[in-house]
Amino acid sequence: MGPGYEWLKTDPRTIDLAARCKSENVNLVHDALEGWVMSQDSVEEAERKLDETGIPCSRVKSIEELATTDSHIGAREMRIPMLQPFLGPVTMYGSPLKFSETPAAIRGYAPFLGEHNRQVLSTVLGYSEEEIDTLYKEDVIYQGPEVEKLPEELKKMDGALGDT
């Protein structure tokens, strides 16, 4: 941190981790660190200097920065480009949890309102096609108008879903 901060090595309030973590010393440490960071050309410069000396650190990043450019988020496959029918390329966010035995993954585009009504009602609940048609006619269930156009849209995308 430089000559202006040599006192941190010898001051009894900051001499070791236990002293620095005492509630009465936390503000002193925080203020010293904040003063040093603010004396740098940028927060990124302070982060670089700490990183070069092997001190683990990371500045607080904005949601926008995390969502669009953070390399760690990208490396952990938490920002995944996908194709969304009718929209084209979109970024979807993957799971931050990574398990070797039960890996999480994005399996496709975000479904549309009512897209899976028939599938769920028939296979899970055992409804007949006639019963499902009646539910639609009586406005008990709904599907967005894009659902009817979806097969054509998926053909246009020609299997590109999931390939991005």
Model confidence pLDDT, tens digit, residues 102-116: 988 888 899 999 999
Taking the C-alpha atoms of residue 154 and residue 85, their distance in angstroms, rounded to an integer, is: 7
Q: Which pLDDT value is given to residue 72?
A: 86
Q: Judge whether residue 121 has pLDDT over 90.
A: yes
Tokens 């995390």 belong to 66
5 torsion bin: left (phi>0), alpha (psi -120 to 50), beta (else):
alpha
- pLDDT on residue 51: 93
* pLDDT level of residue 159 (50, 70, 90 thresholds): low
Residue 153: CA count within 13 A, CB half-sphere:
15
